[in-house]
Amino acid sequence: MNYENLLLEQPAPGIFCLTVNRPKALNALNAATLAELAQAIAAVSANTAARVLLITGAGDKAFVAGADIAAMRDMTEEQALAFSQAGMSVMHALEALPVPVIGLVNGYALGGGCELALACDWVIASERAVFGQPEVNLGIPPGFGGTQRLLRRVGTARALELVTTGRQVRADEALRIGLATQVVAPDTLMECGLSAARTIAAKGPLAVRDAKRAVQQGQSLGLAEGCALETALFAAAFGTSDQREGMGAFLDKRAPQFSGR
């Protein structure tokens, strides 16, 4: 499928790379871009060969600099509700992808861009990356899940400090507080993402999906319920070809050839 505001590429088997491609607008999210993101995420979700999704922004200035303020300025309450719901739907769909999603933050990730990064499973950041939820500077709170995912990523007090001051966070601080898991030189960002993706793609795909499911669902469960979910997924894995291949390969001292079955 051809997109006007996105690029969806497959740089290696099982590895997809989604680029928000509005560099002249610093990759800002408008309604059309959100609609295309929803379509692209659905396409990856439906692809049984998908193993990992990388997300980045076009150019060297911005991952996504925010939502499109020019498009938002004259919205009515009803239009703002629909816009927020569309953004929330995209972030929920991204988070719900069964495969790991890695954000490659190459520049400004502000407002909706920070929310897009937070909906990724983890973030590798360029040394030029800048994060923030500056919506209060515009007289509005975050609208695409920033208040909720930020507090789960960095804690309540830090999240409140960031969303009420609108303060921007550079890459080194983002690493320290948990917004990013790794900071790399700008010219190595994509290769670092691909390296991580290749590592994941070589693992048992059903096991990777179940591990992600257990971690994500476990966040909203008590310890006993979360451990029960893990036990159920662990046991079910023993009914798969991947389990037999993985353990057989280990005992035979060879590389496994997983089938995803």
Active site residues: 115, 135
Specify the DSSP element, H or E, that contains 55: strand 52-57
Q: Nearest Cα to 30, choosing from 1, 49, 7, 4?
A: 4
Tell me which DSSP letter residue 202 carries: T
What is the spatial distance between Cα 57 and Cα 127, in angstroms, rounded to a whole number?
Answer: 15
List the end-to-end C-alpha distance of the chain, in Å, as a whole number. Answer: 28
Contact 66, 116 (CB under 8 A): no
Specify the DSSP element, H or E, that contains 9: strand 6-12
What is the spatial distance between Cα 6 and Cα 20, in angstroms, rounded to a whole number?
Answer: 5
User: Quick one: the chain helix, strand, coil %, rounded to 5?
Assistant: 50, 15, 30
